[in-house]
Each structure stands twice: as structure tokens, then as C-alpha cells.
Amino acid sequence: MSTGADWGWNWMGTEELKRGWGWLVAVGIALIILGLIALYCAVTATMVSVDIFGWLLVIGGVLSLVDAFVQRRWGGFFMELFAGILYIIVGLMVVANTAASAVVLTLVIALFLLIDGVFRIVTALSVRFPHWPWMLFNGVVGVLLGIMIWRQWPWSGLWVIGLFVGIELILYGWSLVMLGSMARSTRHQLT
């Protein structure tokens, strides 16, 4: 029977994780560096991210069209055909107008943060489940971020996505560094 202290390490792949701790730390550091570059070049990171998004839509559209014709006897042929054409058109529009697309996507992000934040605030205050203050805090931060992005819109559309990508890379990189460090310390404790 396992104790609470070692419970977190009793899942499949633990030994590989302990052996590969150095790789986790190295990848984590590389992601942190990439995140810092994305923060420094937020406008470029935004444009590249939106461009990749556009091309992914185009590729997805082409795959949907191919699938529609491969399985043309299926009852959803026209739905698949329409979806494929729509993906391709929207993807090409995004690629052709990267800056404008970034501005529009940023407005959608601001609206999402505002609506989600208000929902979290209302839920936290009305339900009052255990740890509700954390959801309240999360909602307030979401609303504040949404307002900040919206107030600087459309200029925020040129850097917000790159900023978010940079922050995500840094946080994910840091989590890998911490996971690798924990795996290393656990490995040394057991030997």
C-alpha cells in the first residue's frame, strides 16, 4: 500500500521520468527561452501564430474535402464538403490578412475573458462551494484582462496573441523544469 508522500509517483512511466529528468529540465529551459523571445517579439509572435492558425484551417479544409469524396456515399457528404470549403476560405482569408485577423481574434479573446470572468464571479458568489474565493479571484482577473485588452483594441490585436503564446511557453517550460527537478530529487531519495 502506498503512502500519501509517494502517491504522485505511482503511475505508469515513473521510472522513465526519473531516468529522463535531465531531458525534462533541458526542454523546459528551451521553452522558457522561446517564451522570452516571444514576449520580446510579441508582434512577430502574434503574426506567426495567426499565420499558422490560417494554414492549419486550410490543411483541415483540404482533408475534409478529401474525406468527403472518399466517403461520398455517406449521408454527411454535403456537410463535410461545406465544412471543407468553409475551412479553406476562412484559412486563406486569415493567411491573406494576418494583421486584420489578429485584431479580430484579439477582440474575440477580450470578449471571452469578459464573459467567462463575469460567469465565474457570479458562480462563485452564488454557489459558495469550497474554495470559492479562488474562482472569484480568477473571474476578477479575467474581467480585468478582458477590459485591458478591449480598451487598447485594435492596437492590442498586434501583440496580445504573441504575449499569450510567450506566457504559455514560459509557464509550460517552468512546469517541465519543476517536474524534472522533482523527478531528480525523488530518484536520489530512492537510491
Q: What is the pLDDT of residues 84-127, one digit of tens each?
A: 999 999 999 999 999 999 999 999 989 999 999 999 899 889 98
Q: What's the length of the chain?
A: 191
Strand locations in the chain (E): none
Task: Calculate the average pLDDT of the chain.
Answer: 86
Closest by Cα among 96, 105, 92, 93 to 62: 92
The whole-number pLDDT of residue 188 equals 57
Of the pLDDT bands very low, low, confident and very high (cuts 50, 70, 90), residue 1 is very low
Rounded Cα distance between 145 and 120, Å, is 14
The whole-number pLDDT of residue 122 equals 93
